[in-house]
Amino acid sequence: MKLAVLSAIAALTIAGSASANPGKNLDSDGDGVISQAEYDASVQANWTALDKDGNGQLSPAELGDKAARLADADSDGDGQISVAEYTAKKSAWFAAADTDGDGALSKAEWEAAKAAKKK
Ligand SMILES: [Ca+2]
Ligand SMILES: [Ca+2]
Ligand SMILES: [Ca+2]
């Protein structure tokens, strides 16, 4: 019984760290909206985490299951995603998600954009 509880906690911990990017962690000042600066900071952090060999390019191997989703970010078609290509794609996503154009994503805007991305 105790073991079951412990493994449930372990599973939750793993699930929590796996979803390191979206939503909760983004709103670093906790004001309920994700500002452009908060979003950019998380994009940079994600980028750094993904570029495991630190060569300034994300290879398909580094991207893993994200490779297909990011294929259209590779605007120069070299098969690698540079930091500029990555941030351009993410900024475009942010701009599209900010439907009222106030430069920040409310929870509703965030949720709607995430839901649209899954389709
Ligand atoms: Ca790399
Ligand atoms: Ca590229
Ligand atoms: Ca907004």
Domain boundaries of the chain, sorted by first residue: 28-118
CA 44 to ligand 1 center in whole angstroms? 14
Q: Residue 25's pLDDT is what?
A: 75
CB neighbours of residue 106 within 10 Å = 16
Mean pLDDT of 71-88: 96
CATH code for the structural domain at 28-118:
1.10.238.10
User: Which is more confidently placed, 52 or 119?
Assistant: 52
pLDDT confidence band for 118 (50 / 70 / 90): confident
The pLDDT, as a whole number, for residue 94 is 97
Residue type (1 letter), 1 = M
The structure's pTM equals 0.73
Cα 93 from Cα 41, distance rounded (Å): 15
Which whole number is the average pLDDT over 11-21?
42
Ligand 3 mean position, distance from CA 23 (Å): 14
The DSSP letter of residue 35 is E
Interatomic CA distance for residues 38 and 95, integer angstroms: 14
Identify the three-state secondary structure at position 57: strand
pLDDT of residue 22: 46
Q: Which ligand is nearest to the CA of 32?
A: 3
